[in-house]
């Protein structure tokens, strides 16, 4: 878990392909993981209706600032720790091996949960779209399994090829929403004005239930931290990972701020919350966005946007697949999991064994829901999203604490007080506060009764404890030289 090039080679032979991806490529991979179009069509209407109404755009801006503060310590760590294990490696270097492996357990479970939610949602949306366009009715799980297989194909290929595909999809998605926003502003919306005073004020931010809006904001933002996963494959990772991280956060925040505001203008400040509520009640929150597209861009826009939502889910599933595969690869290379997971494809240098393992594991997770005939939106989508938000915000808090302790223990590596002490410590407290907000509003986020909610929440500490306990097993299994290397890297 160092920046040493040798660190990318594992006991099974060559490591991940070096110098394969640029900072721009990392940005597109990160934007795909964040999948802002899914957040815009799902989380923004909910943030307005059950959150703080017209203040939702500012809530996203606040979350963006909080995340930027977190990124300061995160990026400082990335300059000294280049590892495909990302948060696992950072927490391990700062808080010790056991805590690092605990973080690895939470990361694997959280990213798997959010990926399962994307797969479930894709099956439902894809099935409905196919039915409306062709009259062909297929069970949601058929399309879900098809997507798993398609993602697996890309998991075998060169990482730069996946980045190029995601770049095209992101440009189309973001370009359409940018055009919609500009057209709304150019036409003056419904004639009620731009709503600047109604939207961009402290009163709007604090109206209703701002904590709920912030929770949906966090749920829409995570994925930016995946920039560090590609450090071993990046060109000049000491520069490209920090640049990609900051740029991704700014772009995601700006996307939500601009699009959520212009949609308010498009529906009219007086009727925007009611329009979002109507969309939620219909069971199709995306209608809040699609209706505005049809009104201002023409009848083609809702059809194009529905396609972009589907491609956005493919992009997100692929991005999370890449991330989980690289966590498995790193844990195999470190000897925590079977070493076969550290194998890379001789031609593409992709972690193909870890990739297949990830696909099999997600199918195993989804299968019980298929057999039970469960509603994939009410279960996979909402439950997976809730678990992921709790787990990933927990990881942010642990990573900030790790950055603070790491630089306090290594004062000669970075003398910048803001980057190594103030920002990481501030982020610890803000992330703990964010976690408290998430837990307080978890029922709203997952849409489940108290019993299922408690069970879902318990899976996060269980994942941490399993990872924490894995350290003892790993120490017994490793030979002395490998064990020394693991301890040196993680403590």
Q: ∠ CA 175-235-103 to the nearest 5 degrees? A: 85
- Can you tell me whether residue 234 is helix, strand or coil? strand
Model pLDDT, residue 177 = 92
As beta bridge partners, residue 21 has: 234
8, 18 contact by CB (below 8 A):
yes
Q: What is the C-alpha to C-alpha distance for residues 328 and 361, in angstroms, rounded to an integer?
A: 12
| 274 CB-near residues (< 8 Å, 6+ apart) | none
> Closest Cα to residue 221, out of 183, 260, 184?
260
* pLDDT value of position 143: 95
Tell me the per-residue pLDDT of 218-272, one tens digit each, with 9 for 90 and over.
888 888 888 888 877 778 778 888 899 999 999 999 999 999 999 999 999 999 9
What local confidence, expressed as pLDDT, does residue 105 receive? 94
Q: How do the domains of the chain map onto residue ranges?
A: 5-490
Which regions in the chain score pLDDT beneath 50?
1-12, 479-486, 490-491
- pLDDT score recorded for residue 448: 61
CA–CA gap between residue 222 and residue 264 (Å, rounded): 24
SS (H, E, C) 152-163: HHHHHCCHHHHH
Question: Measured on CA atoms in the order 46, 49, 54, 55, is the torsion positive or negative?
Answer: negative
b/e string for 261-288 if b means 16 or more Cβ within 10 A?
bbbbbbbbbeebbebbbbbbeeebbbbb
The per-residue pLDDT for 414 is 82
Q: What is the pLDDT of residue 271?
A: 93
Per-residue pLDDT, 373:
92
- Pairwise CA distance, residues 88 & 106, whole Å: 9
> What are the residues facing 10 on neighbouring strands?
13
- In whole angstroms, what is the distance from residue 57 CA to residue 261 CA? 6
322-349 pLDDT, tens digit each: 889 988 988 888 888 888 888 888 777 7
Out of 1.10.150.120, 1.20.1740.10, 3.60.15.10, 1.10.3080.10, select the CATH number for domain 5-490.
Answer: 1.20.1740.10
pLDDT at 229: 80
Closest-CA residue to 264 (of 191, 197, 189) = 189
Return the exposure string of 328-365: e unless at least 16 CB atoms fall within 10 Å of the residue's CB, then b.
bbbbbbbbbbebebbbbbeebbbbbbbbebbbebbbeb
DSSP string of 442-458, one letter each residue: HHHHH---HHHHHHHHH
Instruction: Find the farthest-apart pair of alpha carbons in the chain and give their distance in angstroms, rounded.
Output: 73
């Amino acid at each position: 878990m160092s920046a040493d090039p040798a660190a990318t080679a594992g006991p099974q032979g060559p490591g991940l392909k070096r110098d394969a991806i640029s900072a721009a490529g990392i940005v597109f991979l990160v934007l795909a993981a964040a999948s802002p179009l899914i957040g815009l069509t799902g989380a923004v209407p909910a943030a307005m209706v059950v959150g703080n109404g017209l203040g939702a755009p500012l809530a996203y801006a606040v979350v963006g600032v909080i995340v930027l503060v977190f990124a300061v310590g995160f990026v400082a760590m990335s300059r000294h720790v280049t590892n495909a294990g990302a948060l696992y490696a950072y927490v391990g270097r700062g808080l010790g091996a056991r805590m690092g492996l605990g973080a690895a357990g939470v990361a694997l479970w959280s990213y798997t949960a959010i990926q399962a939610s994307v797969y479930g949602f894709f099956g439902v949306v894809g099935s409905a779209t196919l039915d409306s366009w062709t009259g062909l009715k297929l069970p949601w799980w058929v399309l879900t399994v098809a997507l798993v297989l398609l993602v697996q194909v890309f998991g075998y290929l060169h990482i730069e090829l996946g980045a190029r595909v995601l770049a095209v999809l992101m440009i189309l998605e973001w370009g359409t929403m940018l055009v919609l926003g500009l057209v709304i502003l150019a036409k003056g919306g419904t004639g009620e004005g731009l709503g600047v005073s109604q939207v961009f004020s402290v009163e709007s931010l604090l109206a209703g239930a701002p904590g709920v809006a912030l929770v949906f904001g966090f749920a829409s933002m995570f994925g930016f931290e995946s920039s560090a996963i590609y450090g071993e494959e990046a060109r000049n990772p000491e520069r490209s990972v920090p640049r990609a991280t900051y740029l991704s956060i700014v772009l995601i925040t700006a996307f939500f701020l601009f699009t959520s505001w212009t949609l308010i203008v498009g529906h009219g400040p007086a009727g925007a919350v009611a329009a979002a509520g109507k969309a939620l009640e219909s069971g199709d929150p995306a209608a809040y966005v699609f209706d505005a597209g049809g009104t201002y861009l023409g009848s083609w826009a809702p059809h194009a946007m529905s396609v972009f939502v589907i491609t956005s889910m493919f992009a997100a599933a692929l991005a999370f697949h890449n991330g989980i595969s690289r966590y498995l690869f790193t844990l195999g290379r470190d000897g925590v999991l079977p070493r076969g997971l550290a194998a890379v494809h001789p031609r593409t240098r992709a972690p193909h064994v870890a990739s297949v393992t990830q696909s099999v594991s997600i199918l195993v997770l989804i299968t019980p829901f298929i057999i039970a005939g469960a509603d994939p939106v009410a279960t996979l989508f909402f439950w997976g999203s809730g678990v992921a938000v709790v787990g990933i915000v927990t990881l942010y808090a642990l990573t900030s604490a790790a950055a603070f302790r790491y630089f306090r223990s290594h004062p000669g590596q970075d003398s910048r007080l803001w980057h190594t002490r103030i920002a990481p410590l501030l982020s610890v407290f803000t992330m703990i506060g964010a976690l408290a907000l998430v837990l307080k509003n978890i029922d709203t986020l997952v849409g489940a009764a108290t019993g299922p909610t408690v069970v879902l929440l318990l899976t996060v500490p269980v994942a941490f404890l399993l990872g924490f306990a894995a350290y003892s097993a790993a120490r017994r299994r490793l030979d002395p030289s490998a064990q020394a290397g693991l301890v040196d890297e993680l403590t």
